[in-house]
Amino acid sequence: MSLLNEYEKPTGQHYRILFMSWAGWVFDFYDLILFSFLLIPIGHELHLSNVGLSYVLGASLAATAVGGVVFGILSDRFGRKSVLQWTILTYSIGTFLCGIASSLEVLLFFRIITGFGVGGEWATGQTYVGESFPPKMRGRYGAIMQTGAPFGIVLASIIGGFVAPEIGWRICFFLSVLPALLVVFIRKRLPESDVWLERKSAGVPQPHESKFFQLFSPVHRKLFSKSLVLAIFDMSAYWFTYSWLPGYLHQERQFTLTKSAAWMLVTQAGGLIGYLTFGMMADKIGRRPAYSIYSFVMAIGLVMITIMWNEVVVFPTLALAFMFLVGFGTGMFSGYGPLFAELFPTSIRNTAMGSAFNLARGIQFFTPVIIAVIAEQYGLGGGISLAALFALLTGIWIWTFPETKGKILDT
């Protein structure tokens, strides 16, 4: 019997795997961005400063690093399907508990639980999709899964900008336990990754060291180190942009929360188109040139909405166009799942993907704090503008990798 990734065309099983992985990523990102919208009302009620709130936001990002490594190892050992369920349950419970937080310390603890689950979901879902779809279309379907990010941000913008002012931030967190219902559907309707099952049934001898430490073995350490640097550059571009973007529009540009949400929706319209088109472009012209094009587009948009704000805001349509470009450029994140799946063998694929992606995201613990500190001297726009530099570095660094377009997965 053929493996799923050997089929000529996707089947119902392919699409079920894609949808459930995508839905998990929607709510994963929804949680992270919703908290950015709720920072202001939470700060008011709990009497927290911007720097204090930045530590909470940073801690949840740092926890994703631990979750990415732990769940990556578990997925390579126990399978993609089971671990996808565990990650969704973990971040759903953590988000629900945030609604009962009464102090900085309690909120910090619950955000760490949430971040731990968030860290594991992306790599597990992308590994699941990457192992299931045929090589010639791996890029586009990995990109479709990645569109969960803009959909999650759109949902967070609607809830945080339009609903939260009416029902309060605590109720928003209570409602965010609903993604846990996905687990019921995953358990009943999804098959396990047949690539993972084949390797498990083959009884291939495993190295004595743990899967995480295998990443630093002579065979893998150079490639993993380059992958980690790529993820750090790209994550820095993303989180220097989004961790304080709603606050930047609200506090520094005097937008109402509703108007801030509307402008965020424009970035995510760009993001949705960027994620979808990146996959098709990467399958057509290659992973490396696609990364560079989208990274440079993001950098241009960022410079114009921060450093050049006063020049472009006199033409609101032009300012919105650059907000759109910022979102469009983030489409480069669609490249991670296919790229990492093609770089690493099945035995450590999820560990490598989860570790590189989430260690890089964990380092972003410092990003919200750096922006808040820089803002005291140069404003939030000054801190956010650093994202453009990291976007440029991403577009350059990708050329240290081999081109992997259409590669058959190593087992």
pLDDT at 167: 92
pLDDT at 226: 95
Asked if residue 208 has pLDDT above 70, the reply is no
List the Cα angle 106/109/112 in 5-degree steps. Answer: 150
Q: Any idea which fold 11-188+210-400 has?
A: Growth Hormone; Chain: A; (1.20.1250)
Closest by alpha carbon to 102, among 63, 52, 45? 45
Q: Could you read off the pLDDT of 11-65 as tens digits, one per residue?
A: 888 898 998 889 888 888 888 778 878 888 898 899 888 778 878 887 887 888 8
Low-confidence winner among 301-310, 366-375, 386-395 (lowest mean pLDDT)? 366-375
pLDDT at 96: 92
Counting residues of the chain whose pLDDT is more than 90, the rounded percentage is 28
Low-confidence winner among 9-13, 129-133, 186-190, 284-288 (lowest mean pLDDT)? 186-190
Q: How confident is the model at residue 242 (pLDDT cuts 50, 70, 90)?
A: confident
pLDDT at 209: 56
Q: Could you read off the pLDDT of 80-107 as tens digits, one per residue?
A: 888 988 998 898 899 899 999 999 899 9
Amino acid letter for position 56: V
Amino acid letter for position 187: R
CA 361, CA 149: separation in Å to the nearest integer? 14
Measured between its terminal Cα atoms, the distance across the chain in Å is 17
Structural domain boundaries of the chain?
11-188+210-400
Asked if residue 177 has pLDDT above 80, the reply is yes
pLDDT at 406: 83
Q: Could you read off the pLDDT of 121-156 as tens digits, one per residue?
A: 888 888 888 889 888 888 888 888 888 888 888 888
Q: How confident is the model at residue 241 (pLDDT cuts 50, 70, 90)?
A: confident
Q: Could you read off the pLDDT of 244-280 as tens digits, one per residue?
A: 787 788 878 888 877 888 888 899 899 889 988 998 8
Q: Tell me, rounded to whole angstroms, the distance of Cα 74 from its chain centroid.
A: 20
Average pLDDT of the chain, as a whole number? 86
CB atoms within 10 A of CB 209: 11
Query: Within 13 Å, how many C-alpha atoms sit on residue 232's CB side?
Result: 11
Closest by alpha carbon to 183, among 117, 132, 115? 117
pLDDT at 1: 61
